[in-house]
Amino acid sequence: MYALNDNGQQYHVELSKGDVGRYVILPGDPGRVERIAKFLDNPRRVACHREYVTYTGSLDGVPVSVTSTGIGGPSTAIAVEELIAVGADTFVRIGTAGMVQDYFDLNDCIIATGSVRDEGTTRQYIPLSYPAVAHYDVVDALRRAAKRCGKTAHVGIVQSKDAFYGEAEPESMPNEPVLRYQWDAWKRGGVLASEMESAALFVVSSIRRVRAGCILNNRGDMDETIRVAVEAVRDLIAADRKEEN
């Protein structure tokens, strides 16, 4: 099912079984991987190919990895598929986002419970009536971790799109009336923020029966958001350990 390169590694992420833990933190930006990896014990770079940079370290003695997804659904779906193929089963995306609602403080973070599938990748997996939802375990772990870290978190639906400039500069698009109409609909519907990867992450994860969640940041301190995500992974590790024993 999965494509391998000449070294027997996953074709795009260049990883093999044993290179990553079951818990993987997923930033979009490859430049954010090392910054997140510094929160792990003994992090080391295990792969770097295209937009996919991977570090593996540990938390509480359990292997945890960080892999960048690149921008958008296509590269995210590939990362998630290939990470699952080498043993990952729990994902936490850490990303930046534009705020749809205007009542947030710029320091607040967003925890996604689901995503509007306003992108093309997941339509190639399953009809649009299938929801893009985060896994309850990960949402709950993120929510509790934010509280412990003293970070205000808004929990709810986000939007995943393909065209960054459709959000950033709709006036430059022939499709401007539709973009504005839709943005207004998301706002009235309570959508919290707009980004580009969570729908692909949630749909692929649901279909493959693994767990995924997502925490987003606007202009706030990224290290604070990373700390929340790392705390949430610690919680998941502890809860999984308890369940296994």
Ligand X SMILES: O=c1cc[nH]c(=O)[nH]1
Binding residues (CB under 6 A) for ligand R1P: these are 27-29, 71, 95-96, 164, 195-197
Residues in 60-89 at the binding interface with ligand X, rule: CB under 6 A: none
Token duo for residue 216 = 């987003």
The reply on whether position 167 binds ligand X by CB under 6 A is yes
Instruction: Identify the residue whose tokens are 């510094």.
Output: 38
192 counts as binding ligand X under rule CB under 6 A: no
The reply to whether 194 sits near ligand X by the rule CB under 6 A is yes
Number of C-beta neighbours around residue 139 at 10 A: 22
Q: Under DSSP, is residue 245 helix (H, G, I), strand (E, B) or coil?
A: coil
Least separation in angstroms between CB 73 and ligand X: 12
Which of 16, 75, 64 lies closest to 38 in space, CA to CA? 64
User: Which of 11, 125, 130, 164 lies at the binding interface for ligand X (CB under 6 A)?
Assistant: 164
Q: Is 119 in the site for ligand X (CB under 6 A)?
A: no
95 versus 220: smaller Cβ distance to ligand R1P: 95
Nearer to ligand R1P, 145 or 201 (CB): 201
Tokens of 77: 């779906």
3-state secondary structure of 143: helix
Residues in the chain: 245
- Pick the stretch among 92-100, 120-128, 170-178, 230-238 that binds ligand X (CB under 6 A): 92-100
Which of 11, 164 has the CB closer to ligand X?
164
Q: Does 19 bind ligand X (CB under 6 A)?
A: no
Pick one of ligand R1P, ligand X, none as the site partner of residue 194 (Cβ within 5 to 8 A by kind).
Answer: ligand X
Nearest approach in angstroms of CB 18 to ligand X is: 33
Asked whether position 98 contacts ligand X by CB under 6 A, the answer is yes
Query: Could you tell me the smallest distance in angstroms from the CB atom of residue 62 to ligand X?
Result: 31
- Contact residues for ligand X, defined by CB under 6 A: 96-98, 164, 167, 194-196
